[in-house]
Structure 1
Amino acid sequence: MPERAPIRTAVPVALLAAGLLLTGCGTAATGDPAAPPATAPATASATGEPSKSPDTAVGAAPAAGSLGGAGTACALPVSFSLAKDWRPKAVRDPENPEFAELTRQGPATVRCEVDAKPAGNIGFLRVWTAPKGAARATLEGFVKAEKGSTGAVYKETKAGALPAVEVVYSVHSELLDETKEERAFAVESAKGTVIVHLGGLDSEEHKEMRPAYELARTSLKPL
Structure 2
Amino acid sequence: MTEDLSANYALYENRSGYGKRPALVMVDFAKAYYDPDCDLYAGVDDALASALRVRAAARAAGVPVALTQVVYHDTGVDGGRFWQKARPLKAFVKGRKTAEFADGLIPEADELIIPKQYPSAFFGTSLASTLTAAGVDSVILTGLTTSGCVRASCVDSMSHGFATIVVAEACGDRHPGPHEANLFDMNAKYADVVSEAEILAYLSNVSDGVAT
TM-score category of the 2 structures, normalised to the smaller one: under 0.3
Which is helix-richer, 1 or 2?
Answer: 2
Which is strand-richer, 1 or 2?
Answer: 1
TM-score by length of 1: 0.26
Higher-Rg structure is: 2
TM-score by length of 2: 0.27
